[in-house]
Amino acid sequence: MYSGNFDIEFICKVPKHGYVWKDNKIDLVPKRNTGVIYKPYTQEAYDDFRRLAKYKTPKTNYIINMEETLRFANKWGNPFSSSDNDIKIGAPFHAEMLFLQAVTLYRNLLKNIKDEIVPKKPNEFIPPLSFMTFGWDNNGDKMIPIYKPKCLWDAIRFTMLFSIDAKETSKVCARKECGKTFSGRSNKIYCSPACTKKMWDDVNRPGKKSN
């Protein structure tokens, strides 16, 4: 079985002054009509979603759930819409309900993978894949598939399918000449044994050691 890399291209739109909870404590609305901040989707967004999933449990204090949901939205915007109108003041999105559904979907897929079973409704986990193209990777040395989702939630779902067993996804190899992202132990700083050896050789080669 062949396994390769992929890339995701998506620009998040975040209200400059963030969101606030409406009085119903269910919907989030932008604070002001003062424009947006454009942020490219990165694996950090996926890690933040997984952290949010840990908070959204019955055992977690409701206030903490609301604070963490607001923190995610203020950092990455409305994950469930591609409409520019949703970033205008007075345009709410049902954050509590939609995030709960998203987290439930994530946990179900995680359990399916752990139990080594095929999901009963696999299409629930698969975002629309019609926006696929190809391009060079960051190093410019090979072609990779590029997914262009309509919304942040589709980007998260796509990442979820290919990174479900990763303990951490937003780690970058400490060797500057490499710079690849990888998953692994919290104390792992290089993406491969080859990079570990190259870094060791660079540090310890003649002329590099301090006198």
- Domain ranges for the chain, please list them: 7-165, 167-211
pLDDT in the model for residue 101: 92
pLDDT of residue 33: 80
Rounded to 10 deg, the angle between the 62-76 and 95-115 helix axes is 90
The per-residue pLDDT for 183 is: 58
C-alpha angle 148-34-31 in degrees, rounded to nearest 5: 90
Give the tokens for residue 89.
Answer: 């003041």
pLDDT of residue 208: 57
Predicted local confidence at residue 78, as pLDDT: 93
State residue 163's pLDDT score: 65
Whether 85 and 91 have beta carbons less than 8 Å apart is answered as yes
> What's the pLDDT score for residue 58?
82
pLDDT at position 42 is 87
Q: What is the pLDDT of residue 20?
A: 93
Closest CA to 125 of 90, 154, 147: 154
Q: How far apart are CA 113 and CA 190, in angstroms?
A: 27
Q: What's residue 210's pLDDT?
A: 47
Q: Which two tokens stand for residue 88?
A: 């205008």
Q: Are 203 and 174 in contact (CB under 8 A)?
A: no
pLDDT tens-digit readout, 1-40:
455 577 889 999 999 999 999 988 899 999 888 788 999 9
Q: Is the dihedral of CA 160, 164, 170, 172 positive or negative?
A: negative
- pLDDT for the residue numbered 28: 93
Burial of 17 (0-12, 13-18, 19+ CB in 10 A): middle
Low-confidence stretches of the chain (pLDDT < 50) are 1, 165-168, 210-211
- Residue 39 has what pLDDT? 92
